[in-house]
Structure 1
Amino acid sequence: MAHTVGGCSLALIFIIVLLLVKANIVVPEQPQNLSCIQKGERGTVTCTWDRGQDTHLYTAYTLQLSGPKNLTWQKQCNGHYCDHLDLGVSLTPEMPESSYTAKVTANNSLGSASSFPSTFTFLDIVRPLPPWDIRIKCVNASVSRCILRWSDEGLVLLNRLRYRPNSSGPWEMVSTTNAKGRHDLLDLKPFTEYEFQISSKLHLYKGSWSDWSESLRTQTPEEEPTGTLDVWYMKQHIDYSRQQISLFWKNMTVSEARGKILHYRVTLQEVAGGKVTLQNITEHTSWTWVIPRTGNWVVTVSAANSKGSSLPTHINITDLCGTGLLAPRQVSADSKGVDNIMVTWEPPGKAAPAVQEYVVEWREPHPRWGTQPPLNWLRCTPLNVSALISENIKPYNCYEISVCAISGDQRGCTSIRGNSKHKPPRSGPHINAISEEKGSMVISWNEIPAQEQMGCLLHYRIYWKEQDSNSQPQVCEIPYRVPPNSHSIDNLQPRVTYVLWMTALTAAGESPPGNEREFCLQGKANWSVFVAPSICVAVVIVGIFSMRYFRQKVSVLLLALRPQWCSKEIPDPANSTWAKKYPIVEEKQQRPSGRLLTDLPNPEEPETLIITEVLHQVTPLFRHPYHPSWPDKGQGVQGHYTSEEDTQYSASSLPPSKALIAETAQLVDLYKMLGSRGSDSKPGHLASPLTVLPVDYLPTHEGYLPSNIEYLPSCEVPITDPMEELEPQHISLSIFPSSSLHPLTFSCDKKLTLDRLKMGCNSLML
């Protein structure tokens, strides 16, 4: 137990020793680098020193100053961190060469230490006060001579002056001796704000410079502007006779303006007439006016301040991109950081030696708040094929960039779009309308807002699929173009509802989908689907019918398929030579009996031809119906009409000659009678028998069809008693094909003569 206690005591003692060693409680070190200074001619002496290592004990520091005539000043400070003391006494300039000695002593409980003595004179330790009351004045309000004045202490021998324009950049230094508070400045720039400071010193070699004075900031007077304005322009056609000219110019630098620009003077002049068309004064750096498209125009622009105007800048109004041979080639724009775009190009081939300069212009393509976007440009020498543009460049904005090569009054331009930084667009295009046009679907959409494009748009994508379909949508990618934005989609099925949406792409990726729209085609046939087959069929048909063999075959086929009522026109017997001679023969045969069949023709009416049917027996035919165009009941026409109630009989008063009867029988085999198809007749009605026809009447083929001669019986025509009774014959009249038309048939003992056959426009009856 005793060994344990002894061991703990020794350990505690050892720890205390280590702590003391670590605390470094030692005797004070000797103070180093003792120096004294007096601020101004009437200031007090202040000395500073380095204490050295900390003693971790209470240490007192005593400062002692001794001078001529056994003068001694002493002062003590108490504390752990005492490293300077102000004696509170001033050295006088009466004895500037008198020597003074200073020493500092450090003392604590472990011992003391003193610094080396420091010896100096009044001129060595006195630091003048900074100059004050600084002012400047330019003679005759011109920067050609400006006088700078200030106040200083009386013993000051040297001064140094520094100044700089606009409170930035390096200082201009000027040293003077015995300046007595005045200095002339001859190289100041007009209308420039300068900052001035002055410092002083008592002796050329001894002492130290005073602190810099407070800054004097002032602006120099204006001067007449120098140099010319950098002017560029845009031209836009309004209609066939007018154009809009937009002029832009850059602000002059301070050294060029040499004052505050009050306004700009713009003059528009036509070269040919030499007459000033317009002169305008504006405070803006742009000007727009409408001029005729004809003639050559020159614009001059100059800047004016309170002292005068600059030299005018002359611009010839020409077509900026009128010369294709001068257009630079292979123009590209690449991002160079957040707010820089590097534009590169190649010279315009053979026209490269004629290029005097290149102009690179850029502007935002989307105007904001309905105003024209500002135009920026940069001029390059003919040897340059690249330019770094950084003025008014913002990240995630798309800019229209053009590179123009200038040779005299001729210019050629090439345009491209570029951005300094890009991301995928924040939103997709908004579909505002879908319409149908010639079987295609036409989509129109709104432009994505400029702040959501996040760079230059490269493509649009249109997606569509059938409604409620799980299949992958079809996609159509189209290049970006400025409004109006529309596109048509073909090969869509009619009567099918489709769902559509759109996206936009930049170089960084694709935007989210825009709004969805539904659309269904109305099913109108696409004319182009039928045009091609129709043309092919027409060509084939024309080719076939151009061959005679096929034309003959088709003609035979059509003749075989033609109905009977469409047969060729049958010759009209009423117009034949025999029909014209027969009434005369019949009249001669009937005159012996004292019967006159025909009356003399009315001179106002054409002579009628009466054809009668000569039969040996009276044959009842049919009952005659009433027709409004016929004469009233009981009224006879030339003695051949009877009452409607009576049965009609056909008989000849005298037997015809054998030759005439034989000729009549042959005609019966060639003709058959049809119902009248005139406007006053209806199908199925029988025409009146014995209708009188004019001799020169020429009927159409509608009342006749050729009788099938093969079905008529062949027999001899016997000569019988005309009063012999005949059996009734039923005659069927029809205008339909031969399947329903039966030819007139007669028994071998009955003969048909033309004295009972009458034909006309409205009737054809036996």
Structure 2
Amino acid sequence: MASAWIAMFATLLLAFVNGTKDEVHTSPSVEVHTSTPVVALGSPVTASCVIRDDCPLIKGKAIHIVWHLNQRLIPSSPAAANESGGNSAAANESGWISTVLYSVANQSGWNSTVSIPSFTDTRGYLTCCVLHTFPCQIVGAVEIRAGFPPPAPQNLSCLTNLTKPETLSCQWDPGQDTHLPTQYTLHTKIRDLQESNTYVLPPGAHHYRIPRTGFVLFSEIEIYVKAVNALGQATSTPLLLEPMKSAKFDPPKVLKVQAEPNRYGCLRLSWCLSEEQAWVTIVSLEVRQKTANSKQWSEEPVSVPRLVRQRPMEVCRLLHGTEYHIQIRVRYHQSPWSEWSNSNAAVTLERAPTGRLDSWMTVSGEQRQKHLSVHLLWKPSKQFRANGKILSYVVSLQKQPTKKGQLCVTLDSHCVFQLPRRARKVFLSAGNAAGASSPTEVEVFQHRALAAVSDVNVLPHDERSLLVQWTSIHSSSVTGYVVEWRPLWKMDPSLILFDHIDRNQSSTLISESIEPYKPYGISVYPRYKDGIGLPQTVEAYSRQKAPSAAPNLRVRETFYSRIELTWEEIPLCQRNGIVQSYQIFYWNEQGNTKVVTAELEKRRVVLGELNPSSSYKAFIMVSTGGGSLNGSEVTLKTEPMDVLAIIMIVISSGVGLSLLVIISVLACFSTHERLKMCFWPMIPDPANSSIKRWTTSDSMQDIPPVQDMQESSLVYLSHLSLMDLPKKGLEKRGGQITDDSWCHCSDTSDLGESICGSPHALSPSYLGSHQHSVPYATVVFDSPYSSQPPSQSHAYLRSESTQPLLEDELEEPSSPKEYQNVPVRGTSGEQVSFRECQDDGPGKGELYTLWDDFPLLRALAINDIQSET
């Protein structure tokens, strides 16, 4: 049963496609009705579904009817269902404002109605379904289409084709899409014949060709288009035309072009129409031309109205002796122009060239030479007319050129010749088959040290032009400037170009023979009344890119710790820009990469701090203003450290050390007194002292103050010391040790005499224990020795020297600053202080008892006593 209903629904849909009935009966038991199958887009739509009681789906069953639009369920509204006993739906995603559905059961069956306030689909299928099992069963359907009425066709135009078969082709703009099938018909009416025709167009066609039987060439015809669909119809504005005036001719033919005899600057051409259109007698014609070396046709063609067919025509106001290519096109009255004809060429009659030539001269030569080397360049000025094919340019010393005075005869635009130094002018003229032009006078300016322009700057304007700027010279003697440019990758002098610039200008745009990625040398010369200034030249590119090739690295020298690399300069034709930097990338086997930037002028680099016997890899990167390119990778290897290198290192180290030692020795000799005092201090010799002749002024001058004394009074030191005795000075005589040098005292030292002559000389036991040193001490006084009062006590300080001062049993780690209370041992074994000895007065026994423990002081005392006596 389900399969049967599906087949029935498929048949129903097929019926919707092939027909537009407002009522579709799927079976005698079901009827679906709609108000209209085609509505305006956005209009309301109402449909109903009637199922009779003889339908097998509803017999003895409780059914539920639902509606679908393009397989979308239309939901029901509970309120409407309560009122009508059926289903209702509110607004949904399709934009419906209110949709009421209801189903009513009566004696004859079921009736369900759906209302859609705004139908927004351009085409939809509204289906009625019975829902009592899943899925629901479709019992009826209806197709509804929505769109717009057709707009009036616009821009109706027709064109007559005179080529067989002759037709009148019309086309128009249909306007806005109606979303509905629209039928277009083309209507024509020939006024003279009162004949009308209607042509039905196939669906979707917006053009039509009217056959030759449907129009007359020289009779007016009225044409319009009518559009009709289910919602309405529209008609275009009628077009009234004469088919011949709307005819587009085939391209004509240029038969021959030739120069008019005795008419300079004119050409005569013969032409004809195509064979199918040769019957036309009068047409309008246009001519365009271009010179042989030009790529652009003339912007304004020459019009020739109402020309009789097959009659030749003239084209004048052309250049003399110039080859021209000619084309024509035709039309009838205001009909469209035909396509351009074939091209044909001819040369106008020649005349002698007119106007002057622009020239530029460079002069070179030393003062001692009798002739100058001159390079002269020229080009046509704006007023120059070749008036034919130039056969030669002549440079002469005379205004009227003769073979004797000719310096150069050439077809090129430059010439190099030798000129006598005394010459101040040359004359330049151009000649063709008809004659020669008036000579152009060119002044000869030798090189002079005239001021040059400054701040020349060249900027790319586009790929084919350069903007040259400079700072003008503010001088009344400047008459103008000359800008010269030439390709640097070619040394052909014929490629040098120039331009004259007014003195008030400071920039110019050059575009002749400029190519991208090519280097050009741009020079700016100031022109003075009496000469040409020095040039300022820069290199420029209209556009840059990465170089086409990178240089190859070559190893120049290899050492154990460095490698020197070099490379050749990139050819100019492969640079593609101004080289800005060379960078060398190199890395060791561990991948540690370093970069070195080389100087542009030197094109060499040294890779330093390398390891001996190690392999490295490197490549060069060359950069321009437009990009960079990496060169090929090369492998490098450092040399091992050989014996010669080690010897050189050792020698250089030894030489450096020797120089350091020599410098140190020289420094020592320059300050030998200070060094001598540091390493060999002067130790006072008691044998050569003169304590007796001390004075207050002497003691004050020689004795430095002691800063660490606690007493506030001045401290005076004796500075007495005994130096080490030489071994050879000690001799053994009869078991006694004597010091000849010690006892061999002169009368210049009272202390020496006292010690030598004293009965309290050093005992042999003391000398035996200190054979190589003599004890010494320092006597400290509260005031100068000569001013010491008898009752004032003296202080004794131990020497800080490392040499022994007293007997081993009397040495102590440290000594107090004052020895007034230090106990001393007398001859009888009792301890006697230094103060007590002084208080006993002039008694000598006690004093000698004190000196037994201090032999040096005892000698001083003895000498002092002897001096008093």
TM-score w.r.t. length of structure 1: 0.49
**Relative contact order (C-alpha < 8 Å, sep 6+): which is higher?**
1
TM-score w.r.t. length of structure 2: 0.44
Q: Identify, as 1 or 2, the structure richer in strand.
A: 2
